Chain A
Amino acid sequence: MILRRVAVISYGMTKVDKHWNKSLRSLFGEAALNAINKVKNPKIDAIIVGNMCASDLSDQNNIGAIVADELGLTPITAYRVEAACGSGGAALLTGFSLVSSGVYNVVMVGGVEKLTDNIGKMTSFSLGKAADAEYELFYGATFASLNALLMNRYMYVYKTPREAFADFAVLMHKNGAKNPYAQLPFEINREIALNSEYIADPIRLYDCAPIGDGAAVIILCSLEEASKYTDSFVEIIGISGASDTINIASRDDLLSLKATVTAANNAYKMAKVTPKDIDVAEIHDTFTITAAISLEDLGFCERGKFDKFLYEGAFEPGGIVAINPSGGLKSRGHPVGATGVYQAAEITMQLLGEAGKMQIPNAEIGLTHNMGGVGSSVYVSIMKRVK
């Protein structure tokens, strides 16, 4: 039972990039000030921050205190939540719950990730911890290789042409080229994607999200009080998380990530909408195969028909649902613990009509889909424009 309806009253982001000159705290500060300055003097009661790798790559835990300190907001409640690459989505669910329950009135939900403060090998090692350390990583599996197992199996079962995955990356870059916050804001073609270097066959470089830094923030309050702070806000009408076995070998079906199905169905039910009602979605495409399976699991695409739907324009404006106008993880970038909050900020922008060149006309209902591990932690939210 939802005690209070919840609104998103503001958002702020940094560009995703290799920010050599910015630290974990200064990135968060920049995104948070962007959000705070859009609204009238919100008295923030708590900060919930998503982050995955700071303890490995920046020698820092206790991220809640770091960001409260950075913003001069002590002594408010502030803490980090972690669900690997789904940390941002987990922060959103936590922030929503705190506002909805009435424990706090105004909650800042943020995500921050600083992946470039260490050597590349350490970054990969840290990101790999989303998988099962004792029964996957022990054998030399990398995070990319576990997703590659899914991709190889997908192409074997459905006879999907390899080009379809490259063409999804092309679409993401076409979208991302219009995004001022994107890490890779340029278009590519099929040849570039197909000829990029192998990372873990069949996954090539252009199937992967890039490594980058970034921070994103949204501010939540109860729907009744939203107009005290701003004239333009959206409502979170559905939200859910779900989990699956950490080890992909323990699952019956390799070609569906059940946590996405569960989280999406719960969120659709809570919002009283169906996949057909979604105008715009920001989904978790860490790898092109993650996108293919997620589109099916979210109900936007028939099983095994990813290539057919892609070529019919189903995932573009005017199709079934506009997918990742931001460019998605592939082109906007993937500052892991912040990604789920970027998605929420981007959907908020879309519903408010503030997305500039990325704007999907008349977007009324939007969805975010954020994943940790190979589908082991998933968070889905559904937002609606408030007329």
Chain B
Amino acid sequence: MSVPRYWREIPYRIRLEAKKCKLCNYVNYPPRSKCLKCGSTEFEKYILPKRGKLLSFSIIRNPPIGFDKKTPYVIGLVELEDGTRLITQITDIDINELKIGMEVEQVFRKITEDGDSGIIQYGVKFRPKNM
């Protein structure tokens, strides 16, 4: 992961900025050049809600490079309160407690790091609400 490749995504991956379409109100996340629903190019900046529910989850047993220390860990598909969906990690949970439909909230966490001298990558994960 090069530094610019990490740094330029900070608004979207850390502040969870999206592009809301001024014509149809669809929230484009990740942001696009044209609205997925109506093709408009008129957007306003929009911050995604911090809470949502778990639509589906999977427990990773075969980790990709850089995630070995965390295995097993949970990947989830979360639907936020406004209907926007994202792929994220579900954290701070015993894997036997996972349930589709459970309420989750956003937390700021370390995602991974590039070996011994690479950059440390941060981002958002979600944990069960009201912990």
Interface positions of A (Cβ within 8 A of B): 121, 124-125, 128, 132, 134-142, 144-146, 148-150, 152-153, 156, 197-203, 245, 247-250, 254
Does any Cβ of A come within 8 Å of B77's Cβ? yes
Contact across chains for A139 and B123 when beta carbons are under 8 A apart? yes
Bound Cα distance A283, B55 (Å): 27
Chain A contacts of B123 at CB under 8 A?
Answer: 138-139
Chain B contacts of A203 at CB under 8 A?
Answer: 58
Contact across chains for A144 and B100 when beta carbons are under 8 A apart? no
Bound Cα distance A145, B44 (Å): 33
Contact across chains for B85 and A250 when beta carbons are under 8 A apart? yes
| Interface mask (B8-49 → A, CB under 8 Å = 1, otherwise 0) | 010001000000000000000110000010000000000000
Does any Cβ of A come within 8 Å of B70's Cβ? yes
Contact across chains for A247 and B87 when beta carbons are under 8 A apart? yes
Interface residues on B, range: 20 to 34
User: Which residue in B13, B59, B60, B85 is a CB contact (below 8 Å) of A138?
Assistant: B13
Chain B contacts of A141 at CB under 8 A?
Answer: 60, 75, 87
User: Which residue in A135, A149, A245 is a CB contact (below 8 Å) of B56?
Assistant: A149
Shortest A134–chain B CB gap in Å is 6
Query: Assuming the A-B contacts A134-B9, A138-B123, are A153 and B58 also in contact, with contact meaning beta carbons closer than 8 angstroms in the complex?
Result: no
Specify the chain B residue showing the minimal Cβ separation from A131.
B87
Specify the chain B residue showing the minimal Cβ separation from A124.
B64
Chain B contacts of A135 at CB under 8 A?
Answer: 13, 30, 86-87
Chain A contacts of B100 at CB under 8 A?
Answer: 152-153, 156
Does any Cβ of A come within 8 Å of B111's Cβ? yes
Chain A contacts of B87 at CB under 8 A?
Answer: 132, 135-136, 139, 141, 146, 149, 247-249
Chain B contacts of A136 at CB under 8 A?
Answer: 87
User: Which residue in B29, B86, B111 is a CB contact (below 8 Å) of A140?
Assistant: B111
Does any Cβ of A come within 8 Å of B112's Cβ? yes
Chain B contacts of A249 at CB under 8 A?
Answer: 29, 77, 85-87
- Of B59, B76, B111, the most chain A CB neighbours within 10 A belong to B59
Query: Can you list 19 A-B contacts (CB < 8 A)?
Result: A132-B87, A135-B87, A136-B87, A138-B13, A139-B111, A139-B123, A141-B75, A146-B75, A149-B55, A152-B100, A153-B55, A153-B56, A153-B77, A199-B61, A200-B59, A201-B58, A203-B58, A250-B30, A254-B55
- Of A125, A132, A140, A201, the most chain B CB neighbours within 10 A belong to A140
Bound Cα distance A149, B59 (Å): 9
Contact across chains for A125 and B64 when beta carbons are under 8 A apart? yes
Shortest A375–chain B CB gap in Å is 14
- Of A145, A245, A247, the most chain B CB neighbours within 10 A belong to A145
Bound Cα distance A153, B56 (Å): 6
Shortest A80–chain B CB gap in Å is 25
Contact across chains for B63 and A140 when beta carbons are under 8 A apart? yes
Chain B contacts of A248 at CB under 8 A?
Answer: 77, 87
Contact across chains for B56 and A140 when beta carbons are under 8 A apart? no
Query: Assuming the A-B contacts A200-B62, A247-B30, A254-B77, are A152 and B85 also in contact, with contact meaning beta carbons closer than 8 angstroms in the complex?
Result: no
Shortest B41–chain A CB gap in Å is 18
Bound Cα distance A197, B59 (Å): 13
Does any Cβ of A come within 8 Å of B88's Cβ? yes
Does any Cβ of A come within 8 Å of B3's Cβ? no
Does any Cβ of A come within 8 Å of B65's Cβ? yes
Specify the chain A residue showing the minimal Cβ separation from B95.
A201
Bound Cα distance A228, B129 (Å): 70
Shortest B127–chain A CB gap in Å is 14
Specify the chain B residue showing the minimal Cβ separation from A147.
B58
- Of A124, A139, A200, A245, the most chain B CB neighbours within 10 A belong to A139
- Of B30, B61, B63, B87, the most chain A CB neighbours within 10 A belong to B87
Shortest A36–chain B CB gap in Å is 40
Shortest A172–chain B CB gap in Å is 21
User: Which residue in A132, A140, A149, A197 is a CB contact (below 8 Å) of B112?
Assistant: A140
Chain A contacts of B67 at CB under 8 A?
Answer: 140
The 3 A-B residue pairs with the shortest CB-CB distance in the complex, in nearest-first order? A148-B58, A249-B85, A153-B56
User: Which residue in B9, B61, B75, B111 is a CB contact (below 8 Å) of A149?
Assistant: B75
Bound Cα distance A95, B75 (Å): 39
Specify the chain A residue showing the minimal Cβ separation from B84.
A249
Contact across chains for B75 and A145 when beta carbons are under 8 A apart? yes
